[in-house]
Structure 1
Amino acid sequence: MNRSKNLERLQNEQFDICIIGGGASGAGCALDATLRGFKVALIEKEDFAAETSSKSTKLIHGGVRYLEQAFKNFDFAQLRQVRHGLEERHTVIRNAPHLAHPLALITPVFSWFEGFYFTIGLTIYGFFAKNDTMPKAQWLNKKETFEHIPTLTPKLHSSVMYYDGQLDDARYCLALAHSADEAGAAVVNHASITNFEKDSSGKLIAATIKDNLSDKSFSVKAKLFINCTGPHGDSIRLLANPDQEKRLRPSKGVHIMLPPEVLRSQDAMLIPKTKDGRVVFVIPFEGEVMVGTTDDEYRDLDKEPILIEQEIDFLLDTLRPYIAKVPDKSQIKSGFGGLRPLIASSGSKATKKLVRDHEVEYDEKSNLLSLLGGKWTTYRLMAKDTIDEACKLLNNETECTTELHYLIGGENYNFEEWKIIQKKYNLDEDICQHLVKKYGTKAHNVLETSIQTDRIHKDYPFIKAEVIYTVREEMVGSLRDFFARRTRMELMDWKATFNSVDAVAEIMASELNWNEQQTQTNIADYKKLLKNFMQKANVI
């Protein structure tokens, strides 16, 4: 992806569709529309997956909680959401096998009745998953349970094991944007829409864009604008047509990251009930253990939602009945908060009771198409529904082809390729496996870009060549782009990230032509952000 060339295209070409927002839904729409023959621009104000799409629970699932609510409350909207998620699950894994894979989840139970109840429920859950090869749910006895997760409490009776999928959400979103770019879309990050231009009837004909890396502004012309800004969707809707009512009720969810000793397992755990009526997942991710999530209404959209101490207490308390030795706060390595783009209910439901389904809204007055709501697992279906509607508006009858479209790095992927890389470059096993799992068939390209194979930090497999590659090929424009989203180091370990900033900044400065003042400012700003995360969570 070449940002300079794409910026030039935005200023000099007229587009059929301009998509606003580079998260999963926006990048998914960009890929779908481009494959259908549209001339597409994709604009992201920060970085691809910078907000909601990099801060999920990293699961590809229908949602066991939604299934339970569907049956208890005779709520067919919840049931439809489960079915959509499970139908899409196999497609998400198939199209990027380097970034997504099946994951076993263990649900500990404390009585025969609980085991029976969850076995029936998770068997029904699996029944809705057509066309995939996930193993069916099974009831494990106590001995079998401890073979999967040895750190569980000895008080448990048994467990129920079922399967869902796991993905690296930020890199999956990047793969969508990168694949759209490869197919012909003009994809640009760090570019904000500040205003719309309208014709005499009030319909959108252009958008004023500010390049946040240069502070220059320009206009992008398109026949149709699509709003895919997630929790921020109302701001674009109202910018296009101030007479519209707000539709979204964003909610905040947080996760904490703990050391691998908490589980000592490659399998995950589902905690089926919390004191506020949710479920919590305890999941191996990138060698650490991620615990989440919470669900609280969030109104201050101008501020990034971050992990605070009370939320840590809630998640550790939730772990307590299930783990033999509950970790204390000093063992927390990092954490993050994200927002869900929930569509407001006509009643006064709590956010945790709102359906995670999506809606494609067309505003006839402004000609703006908005994709509202949804969740990661159904991103492709959400994009399909949106571009289907765009096709009607632009008189295009081309069918969606994304179901069988491999994302960049995914076609002909073979995990065993890491052994060839190790033999050729004489690198440590964990580095080779990391490169193959994150870049897929492009792993060799990373090492061909640079001979700098030193680790960025001694405890992690990230190498300096990745900094150069991600700047040149993946549009990294800031330190946080690299640490939080191209690698997931910020999510994994705040202190290790803090200690690695200077070394990475030195390489980025050379690649991006930062002068000494720019370099020091970027270092100081990012370190300040990391310190703030640690202080708010009280884990310094």
Structure 2
Amino acid sequence: MNRSKNLQRLQNETFDICIIGGGASGAGCALDAALRGFKVALIEKKDFASETSSKSTKLIHGGVRYLEQAFKNLDFAQLKQVRHGLEERQIVLQNAPHLARPLPLLTPVFSWFEGLYFTIGLRMYDFFAKGDALPKSRWLSKKETLLRMPSLDAKKLHSAVLYFDGQLDDARYCLALAHAAEEAGVAVANYTELVGVKKDTNGKLTEAQVRPTEGEATFGIKAKLFINCTGALADHVRLMANPKLSKRIRPSKGVHVVLPYEVLKSDDAMLIPKTSDGRVVFAIPFEGQLLLGTTDTDYKDLDKEPILDDKEVDFLLDTLTRYLAKRPDKSQVKAGFGGLRPLLAASESASTKKLVRDHEVEHDPTSNLVSLLGGKWTTYRYMAKDTIDKACELLSVDRECTTAQHLLVGGEDYAFEDWKIIQTVYRLAKDIAKNLIRKYGSRAHKVARLTQENILWAQRLVDKYPFIQAEVIYQVREEMALTLRDVFARRTRLEILDWEAVMEALPVVADLMAQELGWTAEQKQQQIDEYTAQLQSFIKSAQ
């Protein structure tokens, strides 16, 4: 992806559609619109997936909790959400097979009745997912359960129910969407902030005023139609376009902690169906660690990044402890993060836990702004389809959506076993070769080839992880990485795996990025200082 070239296009061309927001929904809309033949611009205030889209539980699912609520409350909106999620689950898995894969999940139970209850529920989940390729659920004996997850408390355990959903690397999946959109002709640019709008004499939007990175000159992007895909910040753009609109988004904060793999000792995930705050919690193996979350609380201060705090750490550890033979210690927490759900709320008094993760495509006839509101990761493609269907209606064209069959960047000719070729040809360690295939898919050879340009780039960023220096070079040259956090948080994912490892790798990554981006010594030090301060604030808050 060439950001400089794209910024030139944004300044000099007129587009059919300009999409504001580079998360999953925005990148999904951009790809869909481009494949339908529209001339498209996609801008993002920070980095792709820098907000909600990189801070999920990494699951692709219909929502077991929504299914339970649908039948308990006869809520057909919840049932529709489950059906859409399960339909989209298979598409998410097949369109980027290097970034998404099936995941077995265990639900431990403590009585025969509990086992029967969850077995019936998950059989219904299977029924709504009929026709897809994932294995069906089954009730496991106590012995089978402990073989799969030996860390469980054998004294309390009766049995468990096993079912399957999907898992994805959310930030890299979003990046693959943006990259695929650019390859389909979209002018894509991160760090390009919307600062104002221009309208015609009838009050319709004609131009988005944007500022690329701090200090660069503001310019206008001209388009026939503007689409707001800014998630939890959607009301800000809506009110910029039309100050008379009422707010629609009710942001909810969810956090995750990361623990060592040994806490669960399993390649299966665990669904904890009952918590003190009325949610479900997942304990999920991710990138060799254990991801535990999430919570659900109101969040008002949208100018500040939501981060993990010590009380939330305690809540999640307490929740997990009830199922384990040995309580995890707070000192074992390696990293963590907070994110926002862009929930649609009918009233201020409604509990965020009861709000449906559905979406709505809103068209404001006064400004002509289209806003994609609400939704969740699993249904990003379906949400984008609805949105671009609306765009077609407003632009008076009739073009079919084709994204269900469109492989994303790295998914073309993908074969996991190609890691063996990379290992042999480029003389890389087994774990490094496997990581390259999982992160970059069929483009992994392009990353590995950089080690022939400079042999030093074959070195690891930090000893205990498979990430190598060549990845940083590739991420800058091909994936629009502009800051240290772009690399650590959203491209290697080291920030959400191990804060200490990030601190150790920081000088090496800073040197590589400075070399590629032409940073001065002062600019490099500023990047290091700012990111170090950010990491230290995360660590302090979680203790």
**TM, length-normalised to structure 1:** 0.99
Aligned counterpart, 1:125? 125
Greater CA drift, 484-493 or 207-216: 207-216
2:11 counterpart letter in structure 1: Q
8 Å CA contact 2:426, 2:449 repeated in 1: no
| CA deviation map 1:58-81 (0-9, x unaligned) | 000000010111111111100000
Distance in 1 between residues matched to 2:345 and 2:235, nearest whole Å: 11
Write out the 4+ residue segments of structure 1 that deviate beyond 6 Å after TM superposition.
Answer: none
Aligned counterpart, 2:104? 104
Aligned counterpart, 1:147? 147
1:520 counterpart letter in structure 2: Q
Distance in 1 between residues matched to 2:359 and 2:533, nearest whole Å: 36
What SS is found at the alignment partner of 2:218?
strand
What SS is found at the alignment partner of 2:284?
strand
Q: 1:486 aligns with which of 477, 480, 491?
A: 491
Aligned counterpart, 1:253? 254
Distance in 1 between residues matched to 2:425 and 2:449, nearest whole Å: 11
Distance in 2 between residues matched to 1:345 and 1:330, nearest whole Å: 41
| CA deviation map 1:258-286 (0-9, x unaligned) | 00101111110000110111100000000
Structure 2, unmatched stretches of 5+, are none
What SS is found at the alignment partner of 2:283?
strand
8 Å CA contact 1:90, 1:131 repeated in 2: no
Distance in 2 between residues matched to 1:127 and 1:509, nearest whole Å: 53
Structure 1, unmatched stretches of 5+, are none
Aligned counterpart, 1:7? 7
| CA deviation map 1:161-209 (0-9, x unaligned) | 0000000000000000000000000000001000000000110000111
Show the 5 A alignment for 1:265-280. Answer: 265-280=266-281
2:255 counterpart letter in structure 1: V
Aligned counterpart, 2:302? 301
8 Å CA contact 2:422, 2:448 repeated in 1: no
1:24 counterpart letter in structure 2: A
Aligned counterpart, 1:526? 531
Aligned counterpart, 2:84? 84
Show the 5 A alignment for 1:374-453. Answer: 374-450=375-451, 451=454, 452-453=457-458
Aligned counterpart, 2:479? 474
Distance in 1 between residues matched to 2:105 and 2:493, nearest whole Å: 22
Distance in 1 between residues matched to 2:413 and 2:124, nearest whole Å: 34
Distance in 1 between residues matched to 2:437 and 2:25, nearest whole Å: 25
Q: CA deviation at 1:345?
A: 2.0
1:308 counterpart letter in structure 2: D
Aligned counterpart, 1:237? 238
| CA deviation map 1:407-447 (0-9, x unaligned) | 01102210000001111111111000000000000000012
Alignment of 1:65 with 2:41, yes or no, is no
Distance in 1 between residues matched to 2:415 and 2:147, nearest whole Å: 28
8 Å CA contact 1:43, 1:188 repeated in 2: yes
8 Å CA contact 1:18, 1:226 repeated in 2: yes
Distance in 2 between residues matched to 1:255 and 1:267, nearest whole Å: 18
Show the 5 A alignment for 1:329-344. Answer: 329-344=330-345
Distance in 1 between residues matched to 2:495 and 2:18, nearest whole Å: 31
Q: 2:541 aligns with which of 513, 536, 539?
A: 536
2:424 counterpart letter in structure 1: K
Describe the shift of the 1:213–1:182 C-alpha distance in structure 2 as closer, same or farther (beyond 3 A).
Answer: farther
What SS is found at the alignment partner of 2:49?
coil
What SS is found at the alignment partner of 1:16?
strand
8 Å CA contact 1:19, 1:226 repeated in 2: yes
8 Å CA contact 1:87, 1:130 repeated in 2: no
Alignment of 1:208 with 2:209, yes or no, is yes
1:138 counterpart letter in structure 2: R
Distance in 2 between residues matched to 1:446 and 1:218, nearest whole Å: 34
Aligned counterpart, 1:500? 505
Aligned residues: 538
8 Å CA contact 2:372, 2:387 repeated in 1: yes
8 Å CA contact 1:78, 1:355 repeated in 2: yes
What SS is found at the alignment partner of 2:302?
coil
What SS is found at the alignment partner of 1:366?
coil
8 Å CA contact 1:52, 1:339 repeated in 2: yes
Describe the shift of the 1:347–1:46 C-alpha distance in structure 2 as closer, same or farther (beyond 3 A).
Answer: closer
Distance in 1 between residues matched to 2:374 and 2:100, nearest whole Å: 22
Q: CA deviation at 1:347?
A: 6.8
8 Å CA contact 1:3, 1:188 repeated in 2: yes
Q: CA deviation at 1:215?
A: 2.5
8 Å CA contact 1:178, 1:408 repeated in 2: yes
Aligned counterpart, 2:33? 33
8 Å CA contact 1:87, 1:131 repeated in 2: no
2:112 counterpart letter in structure 1: W
| CA deviation map 1:443-481 (0-9, x unaligned) | 000122343110000011000001100000000000000
Distance in 1 between residues matched to 2:267 and 2:406, nearest whole Å: 29
Q: CA deviation at 1:126?
A: 1.1
Aligned counterpart, 1:457? 462
Greater CA drift, 208-217 or 30-39: 208-217
Distance in 1 between residues matched to 2:205 and 2:428, nearest whole Å: 53
Distance in 2 between residues matched to 1:214 and 1:498, nearest whole Å: 28
Greater CA drift, 468-477 or 319-328: 319-328
8 Å CA contact 2:510, 2:528 repeated in 1: yes
What SS is found at the alignment partner of 2:383?
helix
Aligned counterpart, 2:517? 512
Greater CA drift, 204-213 or 182-191: 204-213
Aligned counterpart, 2:114? 114
| CA deviation map 1:474-512 (0-9, x unaligned) | 000000000000110000001110121111000100100
Show the 5 A alignment for 1:127-206. Answer: 127-154=127-154, 155-206=156-207
8 Å CA contact 1:257, 1:492 repeated in 2: yes
Aligned counterpart, 1:224? 225
Aligned counterpart, 1:95? 95
Q: CA deviation at 1:395?
A: 1.3
| CA deviation map 1:203-247 (0-9, x unaligned) | 000011101155321110000000000000000000000000000
What SS is found at the alignment partner of 2:343?
coil
Distance in 2 between residues matched to 1:483 and 1:215, nearest whole Å: 25
What SS is found at the alignment partner of 1:82?
helix
Distance in 2 between residues matched to 1:159 and 1:215, nearest whole Å: 57
Distance in 2 between residues matched to 1:449 and 1:13, nearest whole Å: 34
Q: CA deviation at 1:321?
A: 1.1
What SS is found at the alignment partner of 2:249?
coil
8 Å CA contact 1:193, 1:207 repeated in 2: yes
| CA deviation map 1:329-355 (0-9, x unaligned) | 100000000000000124722101000
Distance in 2 between residues matched to 1:17 and 1:527, nearest whole Å: 38
8 Å CA contact 1:106, 1:268 repeated in 2: yes
Distance in 2 between residues matched to 1:130 and 1:143, nearest whole Å: 29
Distance in 1 between residues matched to 2:131 and 2:488, nearest whole Å: 36
**TM, length-normalised to structure 2:** 0.98
Distance in 2 between residues matched to 1:506 and 1:72, nearest whole Å: 56
What SS is found at the alignment partner of 2:210?
strand
Q: CA deviation at 1:10?
A: 0.2
Distance in 2 between residues matched to 1:134 and 1:200, nearest whole Å: 54
Show the 5 A alignment for 1:346-385. Answer: 346=347, 348-385=349-386
